[in-house]
Amino acid sequence: MAGVIPQKLWGGRFTEDIDPDFHNLNASIHIDKRLYAEDIQGSIAYARVLCKAKLISQEEMQTIKTAFKQVQGEWENNKFIINHEDEDVHSANERRLSELIGDIAKKLHTGRSRNDQTVTDTKLWLRKSIDKLLFRLKKFIEVLIARAEEDIDVLMPGYTHMQRAQPIRWSQWLLSYAWYAKQDLERLLEVRKRVNILPLGSGAIAGNPFAIDRQFLAMELGFDEITENSMHTVGDRDFAAEFLFWSSLSSMHLSRFCEDLIIYSTQEFNFVQFADKYSTGSSLMPQKRNPDCMELIRGKTGTIFGKCIGFMVTLKGIPSTYNKDLQEDKESLFYTYDTLYQMFHIAEKALATLKVNRKSCERALTSDMLATDMAYYLVNKGISFRESHHLVGKAVALAESKGIPLLELSVQQLKTISEVFEESISCIWNFNSSVDQYKIAGGTSFEAVQQQMNSLRCWLRNYSFKE
């Protein structure tokens, strides 16, 4: 005859054992065991606040703390034994605590629900993971700046619509992604603020009926604030969705960076070459050097998008407060963090060892890319820009009709388009001069690029992140 199920945290009112197949669907221990340290950290802090509220004695609190340190050591040394009945990391830790200290362990859950416990654990883990990503982002920006400084004299075509547009510094291209990464870092700091709000003490839905000092809990666990509504608290996963969206946006920037480098590494461009340790070959074609480090980042970005969209669809269909659907947050968060951390780390190391083929970059510069400079020449002669643009368009068409580069048009030929052209037009056919005319803030001149690097370095000095 079936009896009361003693091993479940919720089993007192049930007289039948759970169906084994449903148990397997219900259990999340294979995923959320990763939160063992955060679960223990939150539980020790909760024991302290129970002691402060005189719900357990100082001795009982110390017993719980000491036992949990042993449990954490077991996890860290791969000696923790997960029982089949353990649904999740919370029940596993509480079960093991009971094995070590007996009935004292039963007092720990006073006023606490797995609803506020799991969201607290998740926020503790995510806060720590965000800090590690902030470190990786900073390192990536530092490498972008370092390479921009190292290769500041390299000129290359700038592209719009994947067509050669105007000459730029290679460093200007690099720093364009440093500014994307700067925005990503600033956004992540904002996400961290909303993660760092304490849920613990909200109970299952209605709050905590005991004299629990939630401000004390927040201080113990390093949270900046406490949540203000228990129903909102246990059902809120906006912080997870926001992190997943942030990850999608920042990985999209990284994917575009990789796409550029994949293109630049082709033999048709030959602007860059990846180090052997970040390249792969072909199982069939011996000559191949494939930029798989960049392709994998580009590919994994799509999977990160999927994790974000999938979790958003999960959230949209559930009613208010806690529902078991919310258990799906951790798989998405864990995958996304792990993958994105690797992506930034590999991008950083591949960039640091990247070879820039200066001569190939310079050979790709063609005189038609100075057509805008020709228009500026006419502007300086007093012709409106719209008229100058029209006249230079005619010059381009004339050069194309004769099958010669724009710079080989003679002054006499140019005068058939406008009498304003003079011998002084020859001064524009210099790529270094063209690039260095853009001295305004944000431009691609030597001084403007240096100013960007200085500005980024000054900004970075405000932040110190640890891996």
Q: Which two tokens stand for residue 319?
A: 């009613």
Cα distance between residue 357 and residue 138, in whole Å:
27
pLDDT < 70 regions, the chain: 1-16, 22
Quote the distance between the C-alpha of residue 254 and its chain's center: 9
Asked if 460 contacts 138 with a C-beta cutoff of 8 angstroms, the reply is yes
Q: Which two tokens stand for residue 425?
A: 């037009």
Residue 6: predicted pLDDT: 42
Active-site residue, 57 included: no
**Selected catalytic residue, list 161, 283, 401, 464:** 161
Q: Is 122 helix (H, G, I), strand (E, B) or coil?
A: helix
Cα distance between residue 415 and residue 31, in whole Å:
75
Q: Is 6 exposed, middle or buried (0-12, 13-18, 19+ CB in 10 A)?
A: exposed
- Distance between terminal CA atoms of the chain? 55
Cα distance between residue 330 and residue 266, in whole Å:
39
Check: pTM over 0.85? Answer yes or no. yes
Active-site residue, 390 included: no
Region of residue 443 (left: phi > 0; alpha: psi -120 to 50; beta: else): beta
Question: Which residues have C-beta within 8 Å of that of residue 255, sequence separation ≥ 6?
Answer: 297, 298, 301
Q: Is 210 exposed, middle or buried (0-12, 13-18, 19+ CB in 10 A)?
A: middle
Q: Tokens 């050669």 sit at which residue?
A: 164
Cα distance between residue 307 and residue 201, in whole Å:
30
Cα distance between residue 41 and residue 399, in whole Å:
73
Distances (CA, A) of 60 to 37, 103, 104, 208, 420: 21, 10, 7, 21, 94
Question: Which residues have C-beta within 8 Å of that of residue 210, sequence separation ≥ 6?
Answer: 50, 53, 55, 110, 111
Q: Which two tokens stand for residue 8?
A: 């479940």
**Selected catalytic residue, list 57, 282, 410, 426:** 282
What are the start-end ranges of the H helices in 53-169? 58-76, 89-101, 114-150
Alpha-carbon radius of gyration of the chain: 31
Complete domains list, the chain, with CATH: 11-107 (1.10.275.10), 114-157+168-362 (1.20.200.10), 367-436 (1.10.40.30)
Residue 27: predicted pLDDT: 77
Please report, as a single letter, which amino acid is at residue 359. K
> pLDDT, tens digit, for every residue of 415-426?
999 999 999 999
Asked if 346 contacts 299 with a C-beta cutoff of 8 angstroms, the reply is no
